[in-house]
Amino acid sequence: MRTSPLLDEIDHLLLDLVQTDASRPLHELGDRVGLSPSAVQRRLTRLRAAGVIRAQVAVVDPRAVGAGLTCVVLVALADDDPDHHASFRARMRAEPRVQQCFGIVGQWDYVVVLLSADIADNRALSSRLFVQEGRVARYETLPSFETVKTGLAVPIPEHPRREPGTTPEI
């Protein structure tokens, strides 16, 4: 398991910038944070190596590729057998149309976010994931009629300002 390096003010600024658009050129990032492009590249390389930046991805509009229905599914497993939970989690990780899956506390065991073409497609997918492959006691599907907000950006806490006259770590 990797531990996060100490992040300074410039790291925080860079993380905010690349979370909203990872395709920005190094010179633009440098202009925004007050560093040369090579210094920005070294910092980004360090942040990737430390696991702070886990991936750079393209965000695709689901409707553009025929996945116009998003559903939130609440799932309760039939029992608390660790092997059944492990099997369920593996099934969720393996299914590309499962966008997110969270283990939760309470009357439900998991919250799953699914993408599908339409209600019929969602029913077939849900049947395969939650009925045919077993060990699910019950599930409840909540189809979304409107996307209000989606995203993976992590709020970066404001970092204390550097003392005047000090140089940033590179």
CA-to-CA dists, residue 40 to 18, 52, 99, 109, angstroms:
11, 15, 31, 42
Q: Distance between CA atoms of 122 and 50, rounded to whole angstroms?
A: 38
pLDDT tens-digit profile, the chain (170 residues): 344 558 999 999 999 999 989 999 999 999 999 999 999 999 999 999 999 999 988 888 888 998 999 999 999 999 999 999 999 999 999 999 999 999 999 999 999 999 999 999 999 999 999 999 778 999 999 999 998 998 888 888 776 565 555 555 54
What's the CA gap between 31 and 26, in Å, rounded?
Answer: 9
Which of 89, 95, 97, 92 is closest to 71 using CA atoms?
Answer: 97
